[in-house]
Amino acid sequence: MARTIRFHLDEMCDPRIAHGLRQRGIDATTASNARLLGKSDEAHLHSATLEKRVIVTHDADFLRLHAQGRQHAGIVYCPPQSCTLGEMIRLLTLIWELVPADEIRNRVEFL
């Protein structure tokens, strides 16, 4: 299994976060470049799981999907307006540096 986390930011996340992560050499997709704009949370989770990407979201519905036992590559949840763009990029970079992809699978990390 992959050791390095790859992220997928859902529609609620500012795409500038993905840009900041990519500038640091971190693989990150957005709803737009993954062609998931307007798709359901389930579609985002399914696509990210197939791609072995950790979902980054401000949407608590992903916590519900996790609680229902849905399999996923990992979820990073940040309550809306609780972090600045810079804080999000810094915290996601820290997760990327410290947490192996196989250890975040089916877990939720809270920012």
Give the pLDDT confidence score for residue 1 in this predicted structure: 47
Residues 85-107 pLDDT 10s: 999 999 999 999 999 999 999 99
* Side-chain-facing half-sphere of 19: CA atoms under 13 Å: 6
Q: How far apart are CA 37 and CA 20, in angstroms?
A: 20
Per domain, the residue ranges of the chain are 7-110
Residues 45-82 pLDDT 10s: 999 999 999 999 999 999 999 999 999 999 999 999 89
Q: pLDDT at residue 84 above 90?
A: yes
Q: pLDDT at residue 36 above 50?
A: yes
Q: How far is CA 19 from CA 14, 25, 92, 100, in A?
A: 9, 10, 12, 22
pTM of the model: 0.93
Confidence label for 3 from pLDDT (cuts 50, 70 and 90)? confident
